[in-house]
Structure 1
């Protein structure tokens, strides 16, 4: 984080008089970290809830579908809220909503209640959607346009750092403290054991709620630089004659985000159950969570590396190479047996690393005054994760490995987007951002 943020501006100045956005980016990186952390807790939460409520794969993945419906519901209202109250207040409100949802998870664990769990997770996801609509375009346009992809990939690396720590957090505070988490796959639990396991999520979500509340206060007191005219919603006169649908890179980018998120969520949510299968690695859920840290660790390393690589190589070329690697790895996870299949799925995490930030930055390239609206559509496209129940249904019907055919098809589309779909049409000129007075 960037140090004290009370009365001093976060947008400092270089000696030459140019604004320095480094401190602001450092503060925003804490938001990326936190929503990555709270999202990926779900990877350890879902196998836990599957045991507590005795769910099949379809029912388990429907929990995650509810989470991503929050993005679908909240994204457009979030864009309108940002238009009315500004980016900074919207970030604070998003954090407050996430805090409320995390507190509700404590209630859900104490009851325990499947319905309250769904409502609480939906609330948290709505708060994250608001943060995403505000923070992603903010980071993309706060500095020079030519480094937007690299800059967004860099802060997304902190998002993935949160992902990695969330797995460690969930492994020890959720799976490691439950009977189901420390037993072999398929172990039948008594009702008393399942109810005792349910209480394991109270402490983790209490910690999360406290951290979110503190972060809301910090962001509320910070002085963040304002966005320039090119990134503000066009007024009625400026908007006339401009259409989001004329920008091919945006329209196809929305499908890219939709399918990429479906692929990422499917890997993360099913990994623990996948690795625990007797024909794969034959390990406990807690042990599988250890290997899951390498999925998100690969994403973290890949994003830091990708931010550097894209300073020298066109981002669309880097995206194409990573999409091809993800496609091959997903097919290997589908058709191999033994630990090799697990390692192939771990490799998918590395290749996924740059996809979201790169697709996002390529999709808003050339939108000018439509950037905010376009960003709202892209964040709404994160709702693609809601279709993960399809992968769960395939796992129930044909076996968990066959579910990763869905992942492979998603990677194939991202490859298409990198090669052709990301090329801008009807690009509008950018305008330099300005600091606050």
Structure 2
């Protein structure tokens, strides 16, 4: 091995020292883990074997980095002797080939351990299996990409490099893999938290468990730090490529113009930290038997009684859960019998929940009593399916109130909590439009490609609601859709990272499509939740208020993007990655928060009961088809047409303005249009207290058609003002369609919501048709597509206002009688005050 001369400016000493220390620390943790598992538990599992494999790979990766520091890693290229070049490239290549397998082995060990946590939590198990598949399939793909980074492969570490060789820039590969690492890190961190926090354990033990499994947050933080150094390396590389053209006519990883050994050294160091810290965090839960043997007081709670055991001189903890065996059930039935004690139970494999919740699993046969208590604790957790269960799960003392039974005051908190989600996807929608334009400018994309990206987003609405969105809503309820939708949305924003790094049109299509999948999963639940949570007569009012906050988000985000996030530099797409990383992390935290927020639900039977007052009207038929199904069909079609027309206006507005009023600032006028859009929703919410929703829908549809037609002619400020008015009349249409089409659906309400949400996919179709019309003549003429879309959508309000049987279903007070109607009108002042309270 060549001796390194550190007389030059060098990062080598720091990289060598830090990498060595981290390897030593991870080695200590692995040794302690093996002592705990072999010496105390006397049993090794597959997770232990994978951890041993992870340590060997971590050792090889760390050795490659340490060896690299002896042959120039951390120095500037100009300071590296030519005879070191080949050895340096070999060490760098070895690191790149070993990095992903080391992470794969560590994460696989953790996830296999998770699979033993609970055999009754099906969602947890399937989520763990999916994460395990993503870790290994994605890791294998990235490993192959690193190994085959050059053609021929030897060009990655050969010196000198053949002129015929071609290589993918290794920093680009590293940055492109960042989303997968972050996504799996966060999944591993948060997957067990719902189980751990719901366990019936003493406070100290539960706190220690949560903290123990929460150590994974350090891995995610380190991964972000590593990415920051990679980001810096990418910028330096881009600058050098601009200053010095590569001799092979393009950027090459280790060309003479690159200073890879200097700017990538800290990235390598942080990669070693990430791998070794991951191993240490993964070993922490396995050290619990060791801690309980030598420091049992750490795991003891004040409510526990410690009884000294003579044999072995160890301590066994009798939890307060022991009292469960002596407590009679509230219903008078005898308490559940503990599982029969047997000596074989102690000699057999230890269940992982017993392993986590008892002090010393090596007691033979005294462990039987402790195992029994741990089993009671585990069963108490496993059989607690809902948050309304009592502490001992003997009987449901109090049942949560269904959302369809709540009054205005009771529904205020849950409606406000879900309205937060409306604002979030409003921000996402607004950023999408601006980001498409920015991406088009930087990557030199055509207008057609930009519209294609926009259509990819709405293409997610055609897929998610009809597939997994429907299943989640049907089987797990409204709140589950929020959590799943937020997590998918977070994944989509992370995938933007490689899209920007690679400046790839297909990758950007994928990231937009994933964002659409996530937000459509949110919307398949959030819209009906707002409509159903509270008195049914104010469904459209509540929905317009919440949708108004969504519109506010779409006003704020473009201004933020233009004024703060984007600059004129060519690397602005790379810079905004940090914003998307922040959005992604925020969504993950929000998803976890919504898991713990108490929100009401409604079963199909409760939804059927809530619509029983109009059962006669909803059973009315036209021919052999029930009127409610005709209404729903027209509603889905109207929603498809409306969203298509709305998105056509949105995507074509900058080109329309450039044609008819080029001196006007697009950003300012777009902000005015979005503001008019938001204001109209709040106005419609207030008007909905006094005016039937079907009248409002007809009015706003007619206004949108009239002003869209007026925008097809003229020049200057007049047609621009007409488009702003189109924005205004578009605003409340969505909520009015959605709310009225859910009325009378009963147990089919969730299915109706799925179809109405899928219809939002019209935003993927109509803009493409308008683009074709604009190419044939001009963008102002293409507004005929908008007029046609709204005209087709007008069929729904015509149907609602013409057919008498429909009125009895969709009118909020249609089937309650004149006396009840009079009482409700006299109470209008109180209703207005409650509605205003919801707005504020």
Q: Cα distance, 1:382 vs. partner?
A: 0.6
Residues 301-340 of structure 1: pairs in structure 2 closer than 5 A = 301-340=679-718
In 1, are the aligned partners of 2:628 and 2:745 still within 8 Å (CA)? Answer: no
Q: More deviation in 217-226 or 23-32?
A: 217-226
Q: Within the alignment, does 1:347 sit opposite 2:713 as a pair?
A: no
- Per the alignment, residue 326 of structure 2 pairs with none
Q: Within the alignment, does 1:31 sit opposite 2:406 as a pair?
A: no
In 1, are the aligned partners of 2:414 and 2:599 still within 8 Å (CA)? Answer: yes
Find 1:255's aligned residue among 620, 630, 637. 637
Residues 417 and 91 from structure 1, CA distance in 2 versus in 1: closer, same or farther, beyond 3 angstroms? same
Residues of 1 paired with 2:782 and 2:743: CA distance? 34
Residues 231 and 302 from structure 1, CA distance in 2 versus in 1: closer, same or farther, beyond 3 angstroms? farther
In 1, are the aligned partners of 2:634 and 2:795 still within 8 Å (CA)? Answer: no
Residues of 2 paired with 1:245 and 1:74: CA distance? 27
Residues of 2 paired with 1:201 and 1:233: CA distance? 48
Residues of 2 paired with 1:399 and 1:230: CA distance? 53
Find 1:412's aligned residue among 785, 791, 794. 791
Q: Within the alignment, does 1:393 sit opposite 2:772 as a pair?
A: yes
Find 1:216's aligned residue among 591, 594, 598. 591
In 2, are the aligned partners of 1:102 and 1:205 still within 8 Å (CA)? Answer: yes
Find 1:265's aligned residue among 635, 644, 647. 647
Find 1:280's aligned residue among 661, 682, 686. 661
Find 1:119's aligned residue among 491, 501, 510. 510
Residues 247 and 231 from structure 1, CA distance in 2 versus in 1: closer, same or farther, beyond 3 angstroms? farther
Residues of 2 paired with 1:409 and 1:293: CA distance? 25
Residues 409 and 155 from structure 1, CA distance in 2 versus in 1: closer, same or farther, beyond 3 angstroms? same
Residues 150-229 of structure 1: pairs in structure 2 closer than 5 A = 150-174=541-565, 176-178=566-568, 193=570, 196-199=571-574, 201-229=576-604
SS, match of residue 120 in structure 1: helix
Q: Within the alignment, does 1:88 sit opposite 2:469 as a pair?
A: no
Residues of 1 paired with 2:729 and 2:537: CA distance? 23
Residues 75 and 229 from structure 1, CA distance in 2 versus in 1: closer, same or farther, beyond 3 angstroms? closer
- Per the alignment, residue 380 of structure 1 pairs with 758
SS, match of residue 276 in structure 1: helix
Q: Cα distance, 1:46 vs. partner?
A: 2.3
Aligned length: 395
Normalised to the residue count of structure 2, the TM-score between the two structures is 0.44
Backbone CA RMSD of aligned residues: 2.9
Residues of 2 paired with 1:280 and 1:156: CA distance? 30
Residues 12 and 162 from structure 1, CA distance in 2 versus in 1: closer, same or farther, beyond 3 angstroms? farther
Residues of 2 paired with 1:169 and 1:125: CA distance? 21
Residues of 2 paired with 1:328 and 1:38: CA distance? 30
Q: Give structure 1 regions of 4+ aligned residues with deviation exceeding 3 angstroms.
A: 6-9, 228-234, 241-246, 421-428
Q: Cα distance, 1:213 vs. partner?
A: 2.1
SS, match of residue 780 in structure 2: helix
In 1, are the aligned partners of 2:628 and 2:744 still within 8 Å (CA)? Answer: no
Q: Cα distance, 1:37 vs. partner?
A: 1.3
Residues 65-76 of structure 1: pairs in structure 2 closer than 5 A = 65-76=455-466
SS, match of residue 401 in structure 1: coil
Q: Cα distance, 1:390 vs. partner?
A: 1.2
Q: Cα distance, 1:415 vs. partner?
A: 3.0
In 2, are the aligned partners of 1:232 and 1:371 still within 8 Å (CA)? Answer: yes
- Per the alignment, residue 237 of structure 2 pairs with none
Q: Cα distance, 1:280 vs. partner?
A: 1.8
Mark the runs of 5 or more structure 1 residues left unpaired by the alignment: 1-5, 180-192, 235-240, 431-437
Normalised to the residue count of structure 1, the TM-score between the two structures is 0.83
Residues of 2 paired with 1:319 and 1:257: CA distance? 12
In 1, are the aligned partners of 2:638 and 2:795 still within 8 Å (CA)? Answer: no
Residues 111-150 of structure 1: pairs in structure 2 closer than 5 A = 111-150=502-541
Q: Deviations over 1:293-342 (max 9, x none)?
A: 11111111111111010110111111111112111211122212112221
Residues of 2 paired with 1:253 and 1:52: CA distance? 40
Q: Cα distance, 1:171 vs. partner?
A: 1.9
Q: Within the alignment, does 1:299 sit opposite 2:677 as a pair?
A: yes
- Per the alignment, residue 740 of structure 2 pairs with 362
In 2, are the aligned partners of 1:150 and 1:311 still within 8 Å (CA)? Answer: yes
Q: Cα distance, 1:52 vs. partner?
A: 2.6
In 2, are the aligned partners of 1:171 and 1:290 still within 8 Å (CA)? Answer: no
Residues of 2 paired with 1:230 and 1:310: CA distance? 28
In 2, are the aligned partners of 1:141 and 1:231 still within 8 Å (CA)? Answer: no
Mark the runs of 5 or more structure 2 residues left unpaired by the alignment: 1-196, 199-386, 389-399, 610-620, 813-840
SS, match of residue 124 in structure 1: helix
In 2, are the aligned partners of 1:149 and 1:362 still within 8 Å (CA)? Answer: yes
Q: Which has the higher contact order (CA 8 A, sep 6+)?
A: 1
Residues of 1 paired with 2:605 and 2:729: CA distance? 33
Q: Cα distance, 1:291 vs. partner?
A: 1.3
In 2, are the aligned partners of 1:12 and 1:21 still within 8 Å (CA)? Answer: no
Residues of 2 paired with 1:419 and 1:352: CA distance? 17
Q: Cα distance, 1:262 vs. partner?
A: 0.6
Q: Deviations over 1:79-111 (max 9, x none)?
A: 112212222122111101001101111221122
